[in-house]
Amino acid sequence: MKKAVTGWQPYLDRLSALLNIARVSLLFSIMTFYILTRDVDGLGLSEATFNKIELYSWISLYGFLIVFSMVMPRWQNQTDSLPNVYSVVDITMIAWLMTMAGGVDSGFGILILPFVASACMYSRGRYPMIYASYVSLLISFITVLQVTRNGLDYFSIRIGTIAIMLMVAAYLVAGLTAFAAKTLARSQNQQLIQSQMLSNYKNLLVRAFNFVQEAVVVLDEAGVIWLMNRRAQNFFPDLLVDKKTSLFREIQIEWLRRKRHFFECSCTLGKWPMRVRVRMLHEANKPLLILSMRSETEIDQEAMAIKLASLGQLTANLAHEIRNPLSAIRQANGLLQEDEQNTAQLRLFHIIEKNIGRIDKMLEDISTLNKRDKIDKHSVDFKAFWLAFLQEFMMIKPEAENCIQLSMGHHPLYLWCDPVHLQQIMWNLMNNAWRHSKQDNNAIQVLLRERGRDKIAIMVVDNGAGVSVENQLRLFEPFFTTESGGTGLGLYVARELAQANHGQLSYRPKLNGFELILPRMLDE
């Protein structure tokens, strides 16, 4: 029902304004008639028609009701549970006026019918028979009163006919108005439902439009922007809807040159190298261009990701196939060394063993990379993890004893990650830091810091020369290494594992080390 009220309210407000105009016009017409006919040739027509005191009382009361309805017009818009009170008051006041003017044959009875119609409209098509029956009751009462005052001889077929016609007219007006009001109410409800559906569809389209991966701009031949999404706004913050721009002028020229409804091109827009798909459409008989744009950098990154995914699948299969013959080569190489005394031959066997180890390490890194999606997260107490990790690291690198310092607060810090992945990341970082440090008592510092409420930063810093500026951009590229014996996969795998655990791994030149940020266990 509230929806109906919302849809009806503008119509009811206009109806209230029109009825107030009608009431004021009726009031002033009666007053003018009374004043102008007060004494016509000494006959006193107005006094003969109206009782002076009764007329003044009617004018005062009706005038007060009109002023009140003007000051508070919506008080008439009551709920549908009861007939409209003010409409009943209007009908009663007209019946009183008809009584003062002499009865049903005075001609004022016709004024009841507009107020019957307005009553049905205010009630939104409800209670038409109640309004019509109330009018019939008043007309019957006025007729009886008129006959009682003037005697039975005064009653005539004319008066009876007028009374019956007024009653029938009241029922007809009430019925027709109620039918029209209900039809209008249904139309309003349907319109409201459709407008809400359209609003929902619009919101869905706007969301979909803003969440697409491409930057989308719609513009006309003059370069005026009709529409653009959030992605385009991020790339080109100076663009505004309904404003002209020359940013896409080269694309428009290319469109006019090719005279095609769809084409693709590469160009630089602002400072961004973009790949643009151009499509033409007609809106209101006006040609528009839809530009779907993606950064060339993003496209290159996606292509690299696809290549790496394919490479990962390929290398996973190759790793499985290579390990068996590699083990056989290693075993054969060991057997050949047992009885060999020639120094040159032993050097060759050592070279074979070293390269077998390098291949084996590369296969291990690739195997780890392909398992990055198999995450088993736990709450990890970093201090307990560090003690176990450091003991294992010292077994492999005994020369690093007393060269590693840990700095963290007194209260325990808990990470939310896969401990196996954390072990792999820390091993790569620590091994890298030790290799590039001065390998003295201050070689490596491990710092723990809180990053807000839900993150913890682990910084692995060494006292070496650091990474050159030209190499910093390539640190995390797969197969990039500055070491002759390295595989170039260690840091790449470490960063992939960090991202798999919703973390980050980056190089900090000012720290001369790496920063690993991982989620914190909040309910410690």
3-state secondary structure (DSSP) of residue 425: helix
CATH 1.10.287 location in the chain:
299-370
Helix ranges (H only) for 339-418 are 343-370, 382-396
Class of CATH domain 378-519: alpha beta
CATH 3.30.565.10 range(s) for the chain read: 378-519
Output the pLDDT for position 80. 62
SS3 166: helix
CATH number of 299-370: 1.10.287
pLDDT digits (tens, 9 = 90+) for 409-451: 777 888 988 888 888 889 889 988 998 898 888 899 999 988 8
At 151, the amino acid letter reads G
DSSP state of 212: S
Q: What is the pLDDT of residue 148?
A: 79
Which pLDDT score is estimated for 311?
64
pLDDT at 502: 87
pLDDT (0 to 100) of residue 49? 60
Q: What is the dihedral of CA 331, 332, 338, 344, to 10 degrees?
A: -120
**Cβ atoms < 10 Å from Cβ of 331:** 10
Closest CA to 291 of 341, 242, 251: 251
- Identify the pLDDT of residue 157: 78
Are 352 and 332 a contacting pair, CB within 8 Å? no
DSSP H helices, 240-381, are 249-258, 296-338, 343-370
Give ranges for CATH 3.30.450.20 in the chain.
213-297
pLDDT score at 447 = 92
Task: Write down the pLDDT at residue 485.
Answer: 59
**What is the per-residue pLDDT for 516?**
93
Please give the backbone phi and psi of residue 461, each rounded to the nearest 5 degrees, phi first. -120, 135
Task: Check: CB of residue 414 under 8 Å from CB of residue 524.
Answer: yes
What pLDDT does 369 receive?
Answer: 58
pLDDT digits (tens, 9 = 90+) for 77-106: 556 667 777 778 888 888 888 888 878 888
The CATH label, of 2.40.110.10, 2.40.50.100, 3.40.47.10, 3.30.450.20, for the domain at 213-297 is 3.30.450.20
Q: What does the pLDDT read at residue 45?
A: 46
Buried/exposed 132-154: b ≥16 CB within 10 Å, e otherwise: bebbbebbeebbeebbeeeeeee
Cβ atoms of residues 418 and 376 within 8 Å: yes
pLDDT attached to residue 2:
39
Ranges of residues in the chain with a pLDDT under 70 are 1-13, 37-50, 73-81, 151-155, 208, 283-284, 305, 307-309, 311-320, 339-340, 358, 361-362, 364-374, 482, 484-488, 523-524
What pLDDT does 514 receive?
A: 92
Is pTM beyond 0.75? Reply is: no
What tokens appear for 91 in the block? 């009908």
Strand partners, 516: 458, 505
Structure tokens at 370: 């392909």
